[in-house]
Chain A
Amino acid sequence: MNITNDNEFKAALAGLSVAQQRKVATTFVENVLPLCSDTRVATVITIAKRDDVTDLELDAAYQLANTVRVESFCNCGQEIDWQIQTTHFIARAAMDCAKPATEQTNLAWDAATDVRIARTCHGITSGEPNEQQREAENQYRILAEFIN
């Protein structure tokens, strides 16, 4: 399977089961973990990607990711630190990996878009203008490999 745009990408993700979506979502997040300054996010991903993860464990992982997300908010009037913002959105993506889901939820798409925002934030500091587009292409490749 070859995925070349977001319409194909989103449709392919929607065709996966919730468990499969979690799996591929964690791979999206793992791709940007080196940009994350909080090690707790890696713990969340380790939990969420397990095949035998229980609902209780997912809930705990979700809460942990939420803690990182809230702690990394930039408060009104504080100077923006784009590195912390990158971590903030990676934490959001990690939450997507662990959140309760039904067959109607496209949690992998949510995780993918949060990862892309994280890349966008990182791109502001790195000066790389096309990080987001490259990340989208990475995600197409990851998903295609997963499905194949």
Chain B
Amino acid sequence: MSAGLERAIHVLKEVIDTPIASYLNSCVHCGLCAEACLFHTETGNPRYAPIYKLEPLRRVYRQEYTLVGRISRALGLSKPITDDDLAQWQELVYDTCTMCGRCSLVCPMGIDLVYMIRRLREGMAIAGHAPQGVIEATKRTIATGSPMGVRLPALKVQIAHIQLETGLDVPLDKVGAEYMLVLSSMEIINFPEFMVSIAKIMLRAGKTWTLCSEAFEATNSGVQIGVSDIARLIVSRIVQGAEKLKVKTVISPECGHAFTALRWEGPNLIGRPYTFKVQHILEVLDEFCSQGLLKLKPPEKDRYTFHDPCQIVRMGGVLEPQRNLIKLLVADYVPMPNTGKYNWCCGGGGGVSANEDTKELRLIAFKRKKTQLEATKSKRLITACANCRVNLEEGIEYYRMDTTLFSLTELVADNLLN
């Protein structure tokens, strides 16, 4: 047994807690999780059934914590986990799972498969069985604060560009501001218009806001790779930044895992409650609109539909704000089939898009999203996650769909009444 494997099995034993034991005993092999997983439904590959992805964890549990399993192991009747097993399962655990949570939602036994995938990833990462792209992203996060290697000078250059172009102020390290915005590197790099939108909105709403030079990155790759220590480190940076700047609210941007990590897991990760509120940008915009702080132009007449990002909606609980905003912006809104918390994933979250081996599979999985979109007969698609945006754009481009994609925050900013 290699040292890495020994460590992995040790970690897997450690992560098997009461909930996991209960889940593993509860599975009735109904297959509903498989029918909820787009990697399974679009490929027909039975290995991509969510419960099958957890097989190494199940085998460790059985062999270590059940009487029958221990006896089988002692008699040489059960197959021990090997390095080869973990190498094979790397594809299943990292390439074919975005941790979207749809399987957990539909399980009739209430099994939280995402929770188990996270813990399995933790063991596999320690054993060295994680995709190189995800490992590198995590290293960059530890070293620079950003999984994509975006450093403060680059952010400052983008801020300067925005200020020059628009005349709008993008404050940095403003003590006492009401709101502190954290950004995903995706927004800084790919969608600089997001920061412009925030600047416009905050000015119009009459609210003070700031970025934090020591904690501008929202993305939590520790959550994606399944390593709690790294997840804690990333959340702690934001908490320290927010407390140093004495802000009342931290705004999580249009980024999926950033929100679930910061809003729902953060206090448990750092071991204490926050001294500030955490809201998703959509919740903030909805509040501003309902308070009359933002006045929008009359709704557009073209047909639009909306892609609910998994981490924000199903896992994060932000379901109504986006619908309230869309009602103000759009006269002809058609929801996708399986809208809201049952929405199908874009196929790129949970570190999958950082994984260099997954492009082909993501495009196959996208067929599910294509079907949803076609059912709406809408040429305009709105979403609220920078990672979803890129994955949706790639799928739309690959399948030559006549669809234009919009960010909800940017739509709000573009439709502010003069």
Contacts and interface: CB of A to CB of B under 8 A. Distances in A.
A binds B: yes
Interface of A: 6, 66-67, 70, 73-80, 82, 85, 88, 113, 116-117, 120, 123-124, 129, 132-133, 136
B395 to A, nearest CB: 10
10 contacts: A6-B165, A67-B397, A70-B397, A76-B148, A77-B354, A79-B137, A123-B157, A124-B153, A124-B154, A133-B164
A52 to B, nearest CB: 26
Given A79-B149, A124-B153, A74 B161 contact: no
A15 B105 CA distance: 55
Contacts of A73: 190, 390, 393-394
A5 to B, nearest CB: 10
A64 B215 CA distance: 38
B186 A76 contact: yes
Contacts of B140: 79
A33 to B, nearest CB: 20
A113 to B, nearest CB: 6
Nearest to A133: B164
> How would you classify the secondary structure of chain A's contact residues: helix, strand, loop or mixed?
helix
B164 A76 contact: no
Contact of A75 (B158, B160, B348): B348
B190 A74 contact: yes
B158 A80 contact: no
B137 A132 contact: no
Contacts of A76: 147-148, 184-186, 219, 348, 353-354, 386-387, 390
Given A6-B165, A73-B390, A123-B157, A79 B148 contact: yes
Interface in B126-149: 133-134, 136-137, 140, 147-149
Interface in B348-381: 348, 351, 353-356
Contacts of B158: 120
Contacts of B134: 77
A78 B354 CA distance: 5
Nearest to A89: B192
Nearest to B192: A117
The listed residue with most A CB atoms (<10 A of its CB), out of B161, B351, B353, B356, is: B161
Given A80-B150, A116-B165, 6 more contacts: A75-B354, A77-B351, A80-B148, A82-B154, A120-B161, A136-B164
Chain B interface residue number, banded: 35 or more
Contacts of B157: 120, 123-124, 129
Contacts of A70: 393-394, 397
Contacts of B160: 132
B221 interface: yes
A75 B150 contact: no
A49 to B, nearest CB: 24
Nearest to A7: B167
Contacts of B219: 76-77
A127 B183 CA distance: 23
Nearest to B221: A77
B353 A75 contact: yes
Contacts of B137: 77-79
Closest 3 CB pairs of A and B: A77-B354, A77-B137, A75-B353
A132 B148 contact: no
Nearest to A84: B189
Contacts of A116: 161, 165
B224 interface: yes
A74 B137 CA distance: 13
Contacts of B189: 74, 80, 85
Interface in B143-184: 147-150, 153-154, 157-158, 160-161, 164-165, 184
Contact of B164 (A77, A78, A85, A132): A132
A124 to B, nearest CB: 5
A80 B356 CA distance: 14
Given A66-B397, A67-B397, A123-B157, A75 B165 contact: no
